[in-house]
Amino acid sequence: MSHRVRVNPITCEAHGMCAELLPERVTLDEWGYPIVDGTPVHGWELEHARRAARACPTFALLVDREHGRDRERESAGRRSAR
């Protein structure tokens, strides 16, 4: 099972916090919107990605869990917060 970081462009307001907390995977474009490296994250990077997703003020940064062809959105621990 692999995980990937992605951004919801509709909810993103270009705060830039994701790039500060996860510079290994996120850079900012010229307007301050995130550009996400879509390669799988594992180990310590996964924990950093989840922390960055939880810190996003608009919940635009997401961590997706992939099961082969099926994808299940994890929303970076928001399930446990409900």
- pLDDT in the model for residue 36: 96
Determine the distance from the C-alpha atom of residue 31 to the mean position of all C-alpha atoms in its chain, rounded to a whole number: 19
**Do residues 3 and 66 make contact, with C-beta atoms less than 8 angstroms apart?**
yes
**Does residue 82 sit within a domain?**
no
Residue 30 CB partners (closer than 8 Å, separation 6+)? none
Q: What does the pLDDT average to over 5-21?
A: 96
Q: What is the pLDDT of residues 41-69, one digit of tens each?
A: 999 999 999 999 999 999 999 999 986 54
- pLDDT in the model for residue 52: 96
Which domain range does residue 31 map to?
2-77
Q: What does the pLDDT average to over 34-46?
A: 93
Indicate if the pLDDT at residue 70 is higher than 50: no
**Does residue 44 sit within a domain?**
yes
Count of domains forming the chain: 1
